[in-house]
Amino acid sequence: MGFEQAGNCALDVSQPITPQVYRILREAIIQGRLQPGNRISESEIARSCDVSRQPVREAFIKLAGQGLLAVLPQRGTIVSRIDYRAVLDARFLREAIEADIVAILCRSPDPALIADLRHQLSLQRAAKEPTEFIALDERFHRTLAEGAGKGGAWRLIEGLKSQMDRVRFLSLGQFPVDKLIDQHRALVDRIEEGAPQPADAAIRTHLREILGDLPTVVGAHPTFFDLPDGEIPTPVNAPIQGGEDR
CB 133, CB 127: distance < 8 Å: yes
Residue 197: CB atoms within 10 Å: 14
pLDDT band at 3 (very low <50, low <70, confident <90, very high): low
Segments forming the whole domain that contains residue 37: 3-80
Give the H or E element holding residue 187: helix 177-193
User: Do 120 and 16 share a structural domain?
Assistant: no
Average pLDDT over the chain reads 88
> For residue 117, how many other CB atoms are within 10 A of its CB?
21
Domain final residue pick, 46, 80, 114: 80
- 149 and 107 share a domain? yes
Give the tens place of pLDDT for each residue, 164-197.
Answer: 999 989 888 777 899 999 999 999 999 999 999 9
**3-state class (DSSP) for residue 131:** helix
Residue 240, sorted as left (phi over 0), alpha (psi -120 to 50) or beta, turns out to be beta
Residue 202 to residue 191: CA distance in whole angstroms: 10
Least Cα distance to 207 among 166, 239, 159 occurs for: 239
Report the SS3 class of residue 226: strand
Name the band, by pLDDT with cuts 50, 70 and 90, for residue 73.
Answer: confident
Considering the domain architecture, whether residues 88 and 70 belong to the same structural domain is answered as no
Beta carbons of 83 and 226 less than 8 angstroms apart: yes
User: Residue 61 is part of a domain; what is its CATH number?
Assistant: 1.10.10.10
Q: What is the number of domains present in the chain? A: 2
Percent of the chain at pLDDT > 70 equals 89
My answer on whether 90 and 33 are in the same domain is no
